[in-house]
Structure 1
Amino acid sequence: MSINTVANRQYAAITGIGGYVPQSKRTNYDLEKVCDTSDEWIVKRTGIKERRILEHDLATSDMAVKAIQDLALQYNKNLSDVDALLVATSTPDMPMPATANIIAEKLGLRNVWAFDMNAACSGFLYALDMAASLVETGRYKNVLVVGADNISRYVNIYDRSTNILFGDGAGVVWLEPSQEGGIMDAYLTSNGGGREFLTIEAGGSLYPIEANAIETESRYLRQDGKTVFKHAVQSMSDACTKVLHRNNLQIADVNWLVPHQANQRIIDAVGRSLNIPEGRALSNIEYLGNTIAATIPLCIWQNIKQINTGDLIMLTAFGAGFSWGASLLRWMI
């Protein structure tokens, strides 16, 4: 095993992780009551049995706050030490201000650099890479990276192509400087070629929300499942392979693969494409569904007991845009 290293390099290491999922559940049996589907059909095609749904009087920021508070409690972190807060989300509380600003206010953070990033389901990896760069430069020492989405608000409950997949949740990691290891490498990219295949059209400057638009299909998440499936498997596999090759690694050197939790069939297909040993691709999609930018931190958070200090972890994601990529990190907790 070999990893390209630089003498005296400062890494950004994950030193804490937290998560939050709403209490309310939407099961496959609930969906059987509103559309032509069945528990057997959903499980066979997605691996999902239920997903969490946020209460109507709460928003994305509320889940993020709960996740951050969970991290602070579990890892004895002082939130007053936070220098920067990056929030990956496609479902901000409102168009402005940034949800990161709202989270900062709710947590009582003052003079913190806080902003949102939208790269859909790839958002957490994009935000993690940017946060790592902030730490590596030495300008910031304690950075929170949140992945949070209240995507159920944008799902048409009667649309079988989307209602079976998506749920709500938030995950967060704390980054600090380390000389020992942390975020080792990342390859992230997008091409804009997937706009028509995975989209929420209404709500922006092109199709602003107006009284008549609120009742139209344009306000809901729409996707072409077959096209997304094909591109997701190929893109995530290619991104992981690229990161492995430029770090002189084989897939056998990786302790854990943490793919975006879009669909269990996609997770399995990426694992087969990479030829990763059985049991080394982590998953938690069965009871949470696809939580967009929250899937990767939530997956690590819920599987934390399997991960050991020093483990090499490959993260990979694919989302609307299309956007995709992979990150390689050494687990330092």
Structure 2
Amino acid sequence: MFINASGYYIPEERVDNQHFLELNGLTSEWIEQRTGIRTRSKAKPEENINTMSMEALKQALPDLSYDITEVDLIIQASYSPYDTVATGAHVVQREYNIAGAKALYLSSACSSFVNALEVVEGYFCMGKATKALILSADKNSAYYNETDPKSGHLWGDAAAAFFISKERMSEKDVEILEVVTQGLGHIGKGPEGVQLRPRDGGIMMPEGRDVFIQACTYMPKNALYLLENNGYTLNDLTYFIGHQANMRIMSNIAKQLELPEEKFLSNIEELGNTGSVSSALVYAQYAKSFKKGDVVCITVFGGGYSAGAALMKV
């Protein structure tokens, strides 16, 4: 599979740590020390995952080497739906008159984007699609409770769009060497680790310690698996992109793998935890700076639990 083009959208508003001192007594120093977050992105009331996905798509379009109507599979990947019936995939299909495409919504917590990559791979292997569009977005501010001292200060909003093809379409395409995902509902605190229950408290992380432990285990484990399975070592890895949940997780992984800081790409300090789009967002933000031959690994962990990773070669 190949990434043909990518784009992203980040809302303009930033909510700084001082905001939470007034709400629940958490100091800026406390938040930054434990999460690495200084500010987080926040969408406008009239924005949602569909509108944000559309803006991300528009940014990607100028780099697309074929007409968008050639897309035959559209997946919206998210855990914070705006409309659970007519999804962003259907909105984009209508907006661009992509008549021949399948359209669906996929949710697997913060691994949703990587799961979408694997679903695309499946459709390609079955011969049921050749060009796909993944719309990855979360509007956490639609569901969070900012007064929650455990997780109310974590969340940001954003979107990314990725065009994927079965065959190489141009010389600038980035090859996806392998994708792996796991359902991990049977381990640790499983389904109770992170929750989003719209009528029962919104988005919460009651088992943060367990989430931390499992993320520090599975994110590096899956990255190492993909590298070894494709004939690479850690020395060959140009960039490591982890789910942007907590900078302490990244620091822990860096120590485990003995990887230098410059190999880690991140945006959590400014944007907070943008959910299932976070790793895709980092990739899209840095995409134009990647060089030919770079090896990039995205690895994620999400509530439920779920995990996944994707290895790319530029």
Alignment TM-score > 0.5, same fold: yes
Match of 2:88 among 96, 99, 110: 99
SS of 1:162's equivalent in the other structure is coil
SS of 1:314's equivalent in the other structure is strand
Amino acid at match of 1:140: A
SS of 1:163's equivalent in the other structure is coil
Note if 1:199 corresponds to 2:220.
no
What is aligned with 2:176?
A: 183
SS of 1:160's equivalent in the other structure is coil
SS of 2:37's equivalent in the other structure is coil
Q: TM-score, normalised by structure 1?
A: 0.86
Matches within 5 A, 1:25-174: 25-75=14-64, 78-136=67-125, 138-174=127-163
Contact 1:252 1:277 in 2 (8 A): no
Q: Report % sequence identity.
A: 27
Amino acid at match of 2:178: D
Matches within 5 A, 1:180-329: 182-193=175-186, 194-202=190-198, 214=199, 216-217=200-201, 219-329=202-312
- Mark the CA change 1:68 to 1:77 in structure 2 (over 3 Å): closer, same or farther: farther
Contact 2:184 2:306 in 1 (8 A): yes
> In 2, distance between residues paired with 1:137 and 1:182?
19
Shift of 1:76: 6.2
Shift of 1:80: 2.0
Q: Structure 2 unaligned runs (5+)?
A: none
The aligned length equals 307
Shift of 1:303: 2.0
- Mark the CA change 1:77 to 1:47 in structure 2 (over 3 Å): closer, same or farther: farther
SS of 1:257's equivalent in the other structure is strand
Q: TM-score, normalised by structure 2?
A: 0.91
Amino acid at match of 2:141: S
SS of 2:261's equivalent in the other structure is coil
Contact 2:72 2:132 in 1 (8 A): yes
Contact 1:255 1:311 in 2 (8 A): yes
Contact 1:135 1:175 in 2 (8 A): no
Contact 2:244 2:273 in 1 (8 A): yes
Q: Structure 1 unaligned runs (5+)?
A: 1-11, 203-213
